[in-house]
Chain A
Amino acid sequence: MSEPGQWFESDPLWFKHAVFYEIHTRAFFDGNDDGSGDLRGVTEKLDYLQWLGVDCIWLLPLYPSPLRDGGYDIADFTNVHEDYGTVEDFRQLIEAAHQRGIRVIADLVMNHTSSDHPWFQASRTEPGGPHGDWYVWSDTAEPWQEARIIFLDTEPSNWTWDPVRGQYYWHRFFSHQPDLNYDNPEVQQAMLDVLRFWLDLGIDGFRMDAIPYLFERDGTNGENLPESHEYLKRVRAEIDANYADKVLLAEANQWPEDVVEYFGDGDECHMCFHFPVMPRMFMALRREDATPIYEILERTPPIPENCQWGLFLRNHDELTLEMVTDDERDYMYNEYAKDPRMKLNLGIRRRLAPLMDSGRDEIQLLHAIMFSLPGSPVLYYGDEIGMGDNIFLGDRDGVRTPMQWTGDRNGGFSRADFAQLYLPPLMDPVYGYQAVNVEAQLRTPASLLRWIRRFVALRKQHPVFGLGSYEPLETSNPRIFAHVRRYEDDVVLCVHNVARSAQAVELDLARFRGMVPEEMFGRTAFPPVGELPYLLTLGQRDFFWFQLREPGDV
């Protein structure tokens, strides 16, 4: 019954015109009143997601885990954390989602396990045993010093001493997350079996965490090695041979020229997140200068036809500043993380609305820029209602507080006692659940939620945003980000003003002479493109999207 083909027309490129929605299951809805969100809770809220227009939900890790890294420390790859429910609950969620035309992908960490994983326990206690060589062990902490330390705030080294085995083990992330040894063919096979387990259940794909680090080699920084790509190609080939219409979405927080390697020749990952463009959208707004966005897109190589960028404004992690220069990072910290508590590792642990000081124009403008770029947008739960964060909670918990459904007790997230909740919901006067919640915004026609839904619907009416070319427009006004998207006969002109003040811009639209720009929200026809540069004026933080149409069609 959960064969996905039953509810979808086959479309190997579905992800290219999809809108994704990222869910932290623990935070979304509590279906069994125990204070923690679960899979049944997500299933209950599918109607909401369908209404919003979401095509695919991405669930953060669901696996049994000691939860020392939000579940990215997996202790069993083929089971569901008891707080979230059962494998059967997951199967039912997939089925219910498919019946609503929604696909489901889930996080999978390929690089490492929790130190609680039985594989690691066997490896440390029985070096000569069947799992002895499943992790990366060394007698010294010397090798591979070129590899950077990612969790700078907590980890002094990528090696940690294990007193049980009497050796060091390698870990690119927390010391409780030992890296798997991909040089061992059994590890490679075991992870393929994990993928199959979930694919057989009907899952539509994976968001693959931390993939640049699978292998280690002398004299390298241990990132983006050819061996890692080779293994990912093998994963892709196995999936293509046995399953249809799946997606592999790679998390590779790297520069575009390195990330594109993960697309291979269209035979590796289907999608990769475009990490570097994200902080530049924020930078552009703060500096009132669109240049950073133009530049990073200029620097982005073309990708194979059957691949797609994943675009996002915010997610469950800190707003990562790994892919900016030191100066840019200082600038971002100064502007967006005035309180040191807002910083984490190389990033800023805040949600979209507080980053924008709750500015509605700014939030809408950022969505417009993201939705206009080549790629598929990924929304983060709660950002569609402008939820806030709690910087007094540890690690990244501040951006993982309970979804705010109503103004009632616990924000409608759970019927459990307040003290039982996994984290307190936001209760401050600006972002608290009494001020910001789904129920109230459903009732308010001008709410952010209702605007986002209309915007999602508009984007989905125009496959050009997912499939079309990107052609930047040079303007004499650096405060304007303008470009053209084109797919078959659909031509869309997107013009965004990143400044706090009204702006005028002259666009060189000579190649569209005679065509009529029709504003896409209100379907208002603007004057046709003539001989002179096309003059537009935009209010502060304003944008226009036009469909360029033949005069007879308007």
Chain B
Amino acid sequence: MTAPHHLTLSIPEDALRDFVLSQRWFGAKSREIAHFQVVAAPVVRTEEPLLALAVVEIRFHPGTHELYQVPLGFRREWPDGIAEVEGWIAYDALADPELARELVERMRRQADVAGGEAMVEFRATGEAAASLERVRPMGREQSNTSLVFDDDLVLKVYRRIEAGVNPELELLRFLTDRGFPSIASLEGWAAYLGTPLEATLAIAQDYVAGEGDGWELALESLREGRGDEFVERLRLLGETTGTMHSVLASDSNDPSFAPEEPSAEALGLLTASVDEEIEALFLSLPDLPELEPIVGRGEEVREQLRGLSHAGDVGKVIRTHGDYHLGQALWTGSGWVILDFEGEPARPIVDRRRKRSPLRDVAGMLRSFAYAASAAEIEHGVEPPEGWEERARDAFLLGYLSQVDAALIPAGSALERLLVVFELEKAVYELRYELDNRPGWVRIPVLGIARLLERAAV
């Protein structure tokens, strides 16, 4: 008899732990681990190759923990195993085309599996019937694992799992149902129901080939001296974004999506949070020459922000993309397809599902243009054409405002002020990130913050 559940629990803890800790998708590399444990392992396949979806709990000092999904395959022979248990080799199931296929086929057959304290629900939403012959890893992600089948279908398996519906599933489903064309449509999903949580495990969506994402294309065009040609595409991206927001705000009967009036203190809460971040950041600024334009100006930035907390009208709050930048848009040759609706993976799901002003997405994209302009210089030594970023912003905003439902955003100067708050929030986050990870890029957010100060001074 074959019992993958039992086999999973029998894998020596050290072996599984070493495997998980060495994966790119394991996000907490710097933290000290107190405890590692398989907490559930629902069985998906009981014939060789066996398949179990292990859920592992990793506890850190001082007492917090994270859960990860680790699909495990078992064969009598396999070249790259995690461990050997009772004559079986345990290995990463997503490296095995047969098991990856099994997951998609189960979605198509809506073949749930149940056992013990958990159930895994498999669902299909599309009609697609790609043959699933060739399987390759998508290869560019870090926090999840995506596989491409025959250039038809993508299976995205979430690694770190959290209680609640993954916003990507929610948003793709909503946008697919409403016929929003600029996404890769949802084809199915898998969800874990039981102890210790209910969580989205994976989604399947159409594969869109594309000619490159916005980030690659922006840099390419700047490198080749065609920066202003690309600006025209950004107007189109603005239109697509505006339409996306309008569609996301189009159903007032669905409580998860109905646009809402922000509470009276919404702007106060936002600016207070950003203010705290700024204070903490400026307290701990290291001694770097790149920081010169903003060093000692923390109070000025905060003063600036306080002025903005009186911005008045803030429009409506809706479900948003949540992690919007050039890398999340794919150019198909004739238009844009928006990718990755997960939101910022570092934030908890309850936070990522929150309704926010659509201008937060807009600000994320605008900051991305600043990054592109600087990256062209830093990485390729190419200086963007004079005023490129400004023109990129104008084009994007023009396109955006032509399509977005005007009821969602404030008008006139209130719009500009709100954008400044969101851009500042973003730039502060960027600065912290770059200081920790990429000191060479520190000057990008520094310039952004300095510019917001100059703009304010006018």
Interface residue ranges, A against B (CB under 8 Å):
3, 5-11, 17, 44-45, 47-48, 51, 95, 99-101, 405-406, 412, 438-439, 442-443, 445, 450, 453-454, 462-464, 467, 487-490, 522
Q: Are B34 and A488 in contact (CB under 8 A)?
A: yes
Give 15 A-B pairs besides A6-B165, A9-B67 with Cβ atoms closer than 8 angstroms. Answer: A3-B198, A8-B163, A10-B197, A51-B272, A95-B255, A405-B264, A406-B265, A439-B265, A439-B268, A442-B268, A442-B271, A454-B276, A462-B63, A463-B64, A488-B63
Closest chain A residue, CB of each to CB of B59: A488
| A273 to B451 CA separation, bound complex (whole angstroms) | 53
Interface size bucket, B side? 35 or more
Nearest CB of A to B164, in Å:
5
Nearest CB of A to B309, in Å:
6
Nearest CB of A to B64, in Å:
7
Nearest CB of B to A439, in Å:
6
With most chain A CB atoms within 10 A of its CB, the pick from B198, B271, B306 is B198
Q: Are A10 and B196 in contact (CB under 8 A)?
A: yes
| A262 to B34 CA separation, bound complex (whole angstroms) | 33
Q: A463 contacts which chain B residues (CB < 8 A)?
A: 62-64
Q: A489 contacts which chain B residues (CB < 8 A)?
A: 34, 61-62
Q: Is B266 an interface residue (CB 8 A)?
A: yes
Q: Are B265 and A48 in contact (CB under 8 A)?
A: yes
Closest chain B residue, CB of each to CB of A442: B268
Q: Are B63 and A443 in contact (CB under 8 A)?
A: no
Q: B162 contacts which chain A residues (CB < 8 A)?
A: 9
Q: B196 contacts which chain A residues (CB < 8 A)?
A: 9-11
Q: Are B264 and A406 in contact (CB under 8 A)?
A: yes
A-B contact pairs, 30 of them (CB 8 A): A3-B198, A5-B163, A5-B198, A6-B163, A9-B162, A9-B163, A9-B196, A10-B195, A10-B196, A11-B196, A17-B63, A47-B262, A47-B263, A48-B265, A51-B269, A95-B255, A99-B350, A99-B353, A101-B350, A439-B268, A443-B306, A445-B275, A445-B276, A445-B279, A462-B63, A487-B62, A488-B62, A489-B61, A489-B62, A522-B283
Q: A11 contacts which chain B residues (CB < 8 A)?
A: 196
Q: Are B263 and A44 in contact (CB under 8 A)?
A: yes
| A11 to B354 CA separation, bound complex (whole angstroms) | 23
Closest chain A residue, CB of each to CB of B57: A9
| A406 to B67 CA separation, bound complex (whole angstroms) | 41
Q: Are A450 and B63 in contact (CB under 8 A)?
A: no
Q: Are A464 and B309 in contact (CB under 8 A)?
A: no
Q: A454 contacts which chain B residues (CB < 8 A)?
A: 276
Q: B391 contacts which chain A residues (CB < 8 A)?
A: none
Q: Is B223 an interface residue (CB 8 A)?
A: no
Interface residue ranges, B against A (CB under 8 Å):
34, 61-64, 67, 162-165, 195-198, 255, 262-266, 268-269, 271-273, 275-276, 279, 283, 302, 306, 309, 348, 350-351, 353-354
| A45 to B264 CA separation, bound complex (whole angstroms) | 9
| A69 to B354 CA separation, bound complex (whole angstroms) | 38
Q: Are B62 and A464 in contact (CB under 8 A)?
A: yes
Known: A7-B163, A9-B196, A48-B265. A490 touches B61 (CB 8 A): yes
Nearest CB of B to A207, in Å:
24
Q: Are A48 and B61 in contact (CB under 8 A)?
A: no
Q: Are B269 and A47 in contact (CB under 8 A)?
A: yes
The residue from A6, A439, A450, A487 contacting B198, defined by CB atoms under 8 A apart? A6
Nearest CB of A to B50, in Å:
27
Nearest CB of B to A283, in Å:
32
The residue from A101, A442, A467, A490 contacting B269, defined by CB atoms under 8 A apart? A442
Nearest CB of A to B161, in Å:
9
Report, nearest first, the 7 A-B pairs whose CB atoms are least far apart.
Answer: A463-B63, A490-B62, A442-B268, A101-B350, A9-B197, A10-B196, A9-B163
Q: B306 contacts which chain A residues (CB < 8 A)?
A: 443
Q: B63 contacts which chain A residues (CB < 8 A)?
A: 17, 462-464, 467, 487-488, 490
| A522 to B279 CA separation, bound complex (whole angstroms) | 12
Q: B195 contacts which chain A residues (CB < 8 A)?
A: 10
Q: B262 contacts which chain A residues (CB < 8 A)?
A: 47
Nearest CB of A to B124, in Å:
22
| A260 to B262 CA separation, bound complex (whole angstroms) | 44
Q: Are B263 and A7 in contact (CB under 8 A)?
A: no
Q: B268 contacts which chain A residues (CB < 8 A)?
A: 438-439, 442-443
| A442 to B273 CA separation, bound complex (whole angstroms) | 9
Closest chain B residue, CB of each to CB of A92: B255
| A95 to B63 CA separation, bound complex (whole angstroms) | 28
Q: B271 contacts which chain A residues (CB < 8 A)?
A: 442-443
Q: Are A462 and B62 in contact (CB under 8 A)?
A: yes
Q: A8 contacts which chain B residues (CB < 8 A)?
A: 163, 197
| A482 to B262 CA separation, bound complex (whole angstroms) | 44
Q: Are A443 and B309 in contact (CB under 8 A)?
A: yes
